[in-house]
Amino acid sequence: MDTSQYMSMFLEESMENLQTLNESLLELEQRPEDIDKLNEIFRVAHTIKGMAATMGFSQMAELTHKMEDILSEFREGKLKVTEKVVTVLFRCLDTLERMVNNISEENSEEFPIDDILHDLHSMAEVGHNPEAYEKDSNTSEEINYNINEKIMLNEYDINVVKQAIDKMFNAYEIKIELSENTLLKAARAFLIFKSLEECGEIIKSIPGPEDLESENFEFKINLVYITNKEKAEVIDMLINISEVKEVTVEPVDVKNNLDNLTEKLGDFKEIEKSPEVKAKVAKKNDSADINKEAVVHKKAHQSVRVDLERLDKFMNMVSELVIHRTRLEQISSVHKLTDLNETLEQVARATSELQELVMKIRMLPLEVVFNRFPRMIRDLSKELDKEMELIIQGQETEIDRTVIDEIGEPLLHLLRNAADHGIEPSEVRIAKGKSPIGKIKLIAYAEGTKAIIKVIDDGVGLDVERIKVKANEVGINTEGMTDSDVKNLIFAQGFSTNEKVTDISGRGVGMDVVKTKIAALGGTVDAISEIDKGTSFIITLPLTLQIIQALLVKIGDETMAISLGYIDRVIDYKAELIKKTNNKEVIVYNDSIIPLVRVNKRMQIETSEIAKKYIVIVKVGEKIVGLLVDSLLGQQEIVIKPLGKTLQGLKEYIGATILGDGLVTLILDVAALV
């Protein structure tokens, strides 16, 4: 048996754990006294080390082991949580992330980690107290035990067990014997620990974690385990793990452990009197409550990992089902098959529910994208020597996985831009009467069939005159443009008002990427700004990219679809509504001047002038435009199919769909038309 079957689980869980460490370290830097957070960091680092060692990635395990040394110094109060120490730990996390990416890409290149190891070693030496350490290790060495005997618990462990029992939890001593044919003992131990920790907490193990990782043990593992599960459930869970030969589960005998502990410690009266050991025991007793809380709040994860390809295939099958349902409805309508109506209604209802379900399965919270940005802003704050904070709201907003995959890069550019160009240095902000700490907000919420994401800063704002000057330099005519249109010129390719090119931003490449990426997702982006008040970038995205409600329209002899998400209303076309301004056609509606786009001219489609026409008023971000079409064919649920490589250059369409009568119909890209 080899470790390849565990590789995808290792990669996925390593990235999740590294992200958790990033977030937890940021919080610890803000609240150094938070012991609970420190314990969480220690547990996650230990998990990463164990997994890396089990999978045979020794360099990764070594680096995490050194990180653990620093975290131990934190826990024992020998080292203070400072910006310098946290920065070194962040460097470790970045290196570990690159290692995981290399493993994922099957790249065998090794990273030079000597510098980081040296820095970690130096940090550990700063906080190291040899005397206290020596006495502590002597004490723990004496209170040792034999794997064939019952597990002897120390005072700290007994405390935790007693508190758990008081809270109506069960404390078990578990003996597990593996099959003698087990080739990969460490991997099996990892699976045992993972299963147990999903519904409880392991407070002691013989052999210890390091011996388990290095496979320095026979085929027996003894554990002390706290859970709300019954004995039979624990046995059942463990015996079902392959290569587990025998399991015995007994309640922990607290009284016997207390008697043994008193006897063992009888010979160490002098050591017990030493202030260092007293302080150590007191510290452990104080943290017992934290561990108790951790046990109480432990919940099993009622979820399962699914391969993304299977999910996409599932979505495609549901899409096909929607197409065939529409086809059946068309046939029933044409042939007036009333007997079919009831069955078709049932099929329609079931299809709709199935479709809604698969949509929800594909949805992911924006948190998976947002959670990497606090660390980035922290690093930029140090690099640019500006005080700034990131405020995140609405990260629980759910959006289609395809959108999640693509939205990270545009948001990254907008946030870096806000930090570099938007937020001013503290002294400048104070002179303007602002708070010395710049605020960048990342806000998300759902609005109908759309998701709105806003990136807001309270910095300098966009200077319209400066943008006009730059636009004229690069040959863009700004005559007749509104201030809003001028501000949105920053999304033009290669457009930048920054005189100095920095590593962070300044070439005008990022904003172009933002516009292109968001347009490719069927979304829009708008810039709203006020001098010295700040800038807001408003991104509007579809919640899903597969199945949408659309209005079918006729343009000449062609049938086309327009997503209902963009449509504000439809009005009758009257020639007297149309006016001309700046040589462009507009309509006056409800005291508003709305630009008019003749879709047939834009698409070069011949059309009759006699037929009654309609104006579809669409809203794209902050812009409102009227689209002139020949006739309306009604609303329908349609499945978006990509156009493929041959036609991917057609910017006016986001894809095509198949209607009930088998006709292939193009879906207009309203954002591109506007």
Catalytic residues: 46, 68, 417
Structure tokens at 671: 């954002």
For residue 106, the tally of other CB atoms under 10 A from its CB is 7
Distance CA 244, CA 224 (A): 18
Answer whether 659's CB lies under 8 Å from 636's CB: yes
End-to-end CA, the chain? 59
Residues β-bridged to residue 151: none
Positive or negative torsion for Cα 480, 482, 483, 484: negative
The angle at the Cα of 543, spanning 540 to 546, to the nearest 5 degrees, equals 120
Query: Cα 36 to chain center, whole Å?
Result: 23
Question: Burial of 657 by CB count in 10 Å (0-12 exposed, 13-18 middle, 19+ buried)?
Answer: buried
Q: Which residues pair with 388 in a beta bridge?
A: 438
For residue 536, what are the β-bridge partners?
A: 456, 528
Answer whether 127's CB lies under 8 Å from 78's CB.
yes
Scan for tokens 């360099």, then name that residue: 59
User: Residue 153 and residue 113: Cα distance in Å, rounded?
Assistant: 38
| Cβ pair 543, 399 in contact under 8 A | yes
Query: From CA 84, how far away is CA 465, in angstroms rounded?
Result: 43
CA angle at 381 for the pair 457 and 83, rounded to the nearest 5°: 140
